[in-house]
Amino acid sequence: MGRFSPRSLLLGLAAPLGALAFAVLVCAAILGVTGHSPLDTVDAMVSAAQRPRTFVNSLNSATTYYLAAVAVAIGFRMKLFNIGVDGQYRLAAMLSAALAGATFMEGLPSFLRVAMTVVAAMLVGAGWAGVAALLKVTRGVSEVISTIMLNAIATYLVSYLLNPARLAEDRPGSNNVGTRPINEGGQVAGLEIPGSSSQLFGLVFLAALVGFGYWFVLARTRFGFELKATGLSESAAVASGVSVKKMVLVSMLLSGAVAGLVGMPQLLGSSYSYSLDFPPGIGFIGIAVALLGRNHPVGMALAALLWGFLDNSSNSLDVAGVPREIVGIMQGVIVLSVVVAYELVRRYRVRAEQRDVGTALGRTKTAEEASA
């Protein structure tokens, strides 16, 4: 990724843009076949994009998605597949919400409360990911399988704990159940955006910080170098003295810790309690965003924004008479076509490099080169 040439830049952009265009075409075709107007859909989405409220909501969703993507990407960079981000963030959000809403926390200073909540979430996330890491390191169990199982176990664990007899209380007037609401002192204030009724999550800065940290650790530290080396060639990493087991353990714990943060912007910035309607499935969106953004800190931010915008514009599609589920189809097609596009571009690159090497080797030296 280090050297930039016009060709590598163009190829880098070709895959995501091509996939996006392909997805738009597929969705237009689906809409056309099912008797909806693709142009109306575009029109509805464009007018949604111009509303400040959509913008703020998209940014808020993107904050959450970005954190999930970074959590996934930490694993991806060393060929670890943390499918368990989903379970990790839900368990972490639930337990830290219970902690943050507890009565004994109310006497503490605001900063300390928020910090404790966030740290608790990171610890829970890391702990849950640690189970998978431990199984992999000691017993060689594939982290894909174990995290799938842990996701499901987390679902049942959360529904067990989210019970009025345990960590939750009934919400009067509805059949919702949630943890005790976090009062003012434990919340993170949002930012007012002119023209919008909703506020921007205060923890958007946390996401930016995590993104920066991700970049810094990978690009500027020895640990990051070893992590990437392990991902690119395990045998080479072992030969240079890297303990792969240690790397698996540490990167899985880091991934889990970041996954623990995923629920925080929503919890401390808007819902103030973990209840039955806390958004599920963000871990899988994180996988999609990390793929789309190629594990790059900026690329993932752009992908998260796109994802957030698509999600939030779906509300305005209903008004235009287009089923909002078309957005889900579009997101799925984007992911599938973007991975295919990256693979095609990768093959093209390999061929181009081989061609370049071939021409360089096959060429006889010029007179100047020979004399030099």
Partner 1 sequence: MTAGSSTGARHASPVRRARKIAPWVYFLIAVAAVLVLSAVRVLAGATDLTSSGTVQAALTAAVPLAMAALAGMWAERGGVVNIGLEGMMVLGTFGAGYAGYQWGPWAAVAFGLFLGVVGGLLHAVATVSFGVDHIISGVAINLLAPGAALFLSKLYFADAPGGGQKQSPRIADAPKVTVPGLSDVLGTVEGKHWFFVSDVAGVLRGLVTEVSLLTVLAALLIAGSGWVLWRTPFGLRLRSCGEAPTAAESLGVNVYRYKYLAVIASGGFAGLGGAFLAVSSGQFRDGQTGGRGFIGLAAMIFGNWRPGGLATGASLFGYTDALALRGSAAVHALLLLLGIALVVVAVVQYRSGHHVLSAVAAALGVLFGYWYFASDEVPAELVGAAPYVVTLLVLGLASQRLRPPRMAGEPYRKGQGK
Using DSSP, state whether 241 is helix, strand or coil. Answer: coil
| Cβ closest to partner 1, residue 23 vs residue 203 | 23
- The nearest distance, CB 88 to partner 1, in angstroms, is 15
- The nearest distance, CB 346 to partner 1, in angstroms, is 9
| Cβ closest to partner 1, residue 261 vs residue 338 | 338
Q: Two tokens at 95?
A: 């337990």
User: Distance between CA 116 and CA 233 in Å, rounded?
Assistant: 38
Q: Residues interacting with partner 1, by CB under 8 A?
A: 30, 34, 81, 83, 135, 139-141, 144-146, 148-153, 155-157, 159-160, 163, 284, 287-288, 291, 323, 325-329, 331-333, 335-336, 339-340, 343-344
- The nearest distance, CB 187 to partner 1, in angstroms, is 29
| Cβ closest to partner 1, residue 268 vs residue 322 | 322
Could you give the C-alpha distances from 53 to 57, 207, 237, 265, 306, in angstroms and in order? 6, 20, 48, 17, 16
- The nearest distance, CB 276 to partner 1, in angstroms, is 13
Q: Two tokens at 64?
A: 């959450």
| Cβ closest to partner 1, residue 83 vs residue 229 | 83
Category of 70 on φ-ψ map: left (φ > 0), alpha (ψ -120 to 50) or beta: alpha
Q: Two tokens at 304?
A: 């998260």
273: Cα separation from own chain's centroid: 22
User: Distance between CA 348 and CA 341 in Å, rounded?
Assistant: 10
- The nearest distance, CB 366 to partner 1, in angstroms, is 35
Q: In this structure, are residues 181 and 272 in contact, taking their beta carbons and an 8 Å threshold?
A: yes
- The nearest distance, CB 330 to partner 1, in angstroms, is 8
- The nearest distance, CB 136 to partner 1, in angstroms, is 10
User: Distance between CA 130 and CA 135 in Å, rounded?
Assistant: 8
**Residue that the structure tokens 């810790």 belong to:** 257
| Cβ closest to partner 1, residue 214 vs residue 307 | 307
| Cβ closest to partner 1, residue 124 vs residue 204 | 124
| Cβ closest to partner 1, residue 206 vs residue 288 | 288
User: Distance between CA 295 and CA 21 in Å, rounded?
Assistant: 21
